[in-house]
Amino acid sequence: MLYIGPVEIPGSDDHEGFVSADTADGRATGIWADARRAPAVAYRAACECGWRDDVAYVPGPCGHSAALRAFVDHHFAPVTGAPALDPARHFLPA
C-alpha cells in the first residue's frame, strides 16, 4: 500500500507509506511486502524514509486500515504540512 498523491505535494517524494507487519520472531516486513500475507502479530504504519509508528494494531482488516490512517495522521501530514488525506482515495487498492 503505497501513498499515491493526487497532486505533487512538496516534500512528499521520500515519504511513500505502507503497512508493516511485525512477526513473532521480531522482524518487520518492508515496503514491497504485503503485510496481510505475513504471519503478523501486529501491524504498524511505516515509511520508506525509515519511520515506523510506535502504535501497533491488531492484524486484520481493521488494523490494516488503522495503520494506513496512522501513516497519514502521524507521519505524512506532519512532515509535508499537507492537509489530511483520505487513505481510501490516496492509496493503491489491494
Which range among 9-23, 61-75, 79-93 shows the weakest confidence by mean pLDDT?
A: 79-93
How many Cα atoms within 13 Å fall on the side-chain side of residue 62? 1
Given this model, what pLDDT does residue 72 score? Answer: 84
Q: Is the pTM of this model over 0.85?
A: no
**Looking at this protein, which amino acid is placed at residue 40?**
A
d(C-alpha 49, C-alpha 70), whole Å:
15
Given this model, what pLDDT does residue 55 score? Answer: 98
User: Residue with C-alpha cell 488525506?
Assistant: 85
d(C-alpha 90, C-alpha 87), whole Å:
5
Q: Are 77 and 85 in contact (CB under 8 A)?
A: yes
How many Cα atoms within 13 Å fall on the side-chain side of residue 37? 6
d(C-alpha 43, C-alpha 59), whole Å:
6
pLDDT tens track for 38-81: 899 999 999 989 999 999 999 999 999 999 889 888 987 777 77
